[in-house]
Amino acid sequence: MDSIFGIGLPELIFILLIAGIVMGPQRIRQTARWLGVMVVKLQRISRDFTRQLNAELDAADAGGDLRSTVDEVRQLKQQLAELKQEIRATTLGSLEPVQAAVNNPRESVRRIMPDDLMSGEDGHPVRAVRPPAPSSAIPSPRLIADDPE
């Protein structure tokens, strides 16, 4: 916690120093004692409120419905975590061949190219592979008139 109500440690020390100068030593002791008593009272009120709230929740859950619902939510969270782990494992498992191909490109070329194009140990093709020439059998796009209806 860096600040309380937007007041950092240097500002707090400055405020306490000014308060000490303005109030004097006697009033500072009285003020510190009063602040201590108030903090203790607030803690006691908070503790009593928490106890009372827990008692009311336990009384409202006489049938155990609330506890069973909480247990179901916990089980669903556990199943969700297991599914996330399974998805991560599946995804990472499918990436292994890709990572192997990136790390060792010559080996991936050997797997892809047919054996008759491969030469000895270095994996370079014996003859150059050219892409097929564009075919004129592909029809050109035509404009079709709109439907007269």
The per-residue pLDDT for range 122-138, each reduced to its tens digit, is 555 555 455 555 555 55
Question: Whole-prediction pTM value?
Answer: 0.34
The beta strand positions in the chain, using DSSP E, are none
User: How far are the Cα atoms of 9, 10, 25, 32, 123 from residue 13, in angstroms, in the given order?
Assistant: 6, 5, 16, 15, 75
pLDDT at 124: 55
Dihedral of the alpha carbons of 8, 11, 15, 16, in degrees to the nearest 10 = 70
Report d(CA 74, CA 79) in Å as an integer.
9
For the chain, the C-alpha Rg in angstroms (whole number) is 39
